[in-house]
Amino acid sequence: MNTVLIRQRVQRLDLLQRSLDIASAGSVKFKGVTQLSKFCAGLIQEWERAPLGEGIPRGVLVTKRSHLSWKTLLRGGYRIYLDAWVEANNPAKKTDRGHERIRELESQLIKLRAQYDLLHAQSLEWSDEQLSPSQQNSQTLEDAFKSIEILIIHFSDMVAVHEGSLVSRSAARPTLINEARFSAFLAWRAKNISSQ
């Protein structure tokens, strides 16, 4: 695992959350998620390109990143944050508290997953064991599958299998683990259950 890329994803999630906080505090009205995405991407780019410490929210260490497109924020794990903000800040829509809570938990799950990936990658780097590359790959895969299993058990009410992939139970059904990786997990799990 590349800890630099994982660390940058965790930082970007933090910057996105901070940009959403700024959007909440301001009097700017957004017509939809696309407009909000453009606003947040602009702030994040500004913070990522700023000289060290200038204009960056307190408590955030930003490493230089490549150009951030607003379209990037509309894909993957970032979209859940944007949708939740739009729902929470749209006075025209009546929001269901249960639906709001699900969005909040989905956002937390994505952030926890990114933080777990970072901690896991760091622990592998800090490991004093000198394993052969094939042993490292096998151990990393085993650890990843165990992590997936723990997350599925813990968040069983929030995830589902859809067309062979592990997805969120939300209406948008963002894919958490694609079909190829999830089928490998299922094969590993079947092997471990039969060997017990």
pLDDT at 56: 57
Residue type, 67: H
Neighbouring C-beta atoms of residue 172, cutoff 10 Å:
11
Q: Which residues, 6 or more positions from 122, have their beta carbon under 8 angstroms from its beta carbon?
A: 3
* Tokens 């301001």 belong to residue: 26
Q: Same structural domain for residues 15 and 73?
A: yes
- What value does the mean pLDDT take over residues 144-151? 80
Q: Same structural domain for residues 82 and 159?
A: no
Please check whether residue 122 lies inside any domain of the structure: no
Please check whether residue 104 lies inside any domain of the structure: no
Please check whether residue 103 lies inside any domain of the structure: no
Please check whether residue 125 lies inside any domain of the structure: no
CA 9 to chain centre: 8
Q: Same structural domain for residues 148 and 84?
A: no
Domain limits for position 52:
3-98
| Percent with pLDDT over 70 in the chain | 76
Q: What is the CA radius of gyration of the chain?
A: 19
Strand segments, DSSP code E, in the chain are 159-162, 165-168, 175-177
pLDDT reading at 117 higher than 50: yes
Please count the structural domains in the chain. Answer: 2
Q: Same structural domain for residues 36 and 87?
A: yes
pLDDT at 91: 64
Q: How many residues make up the chain in this entry?
A: 196
pLDDT digits (tens, 9 = 90+) for 56-92: 555 455 555 556 778 888 886 788 888 888 877 776 6
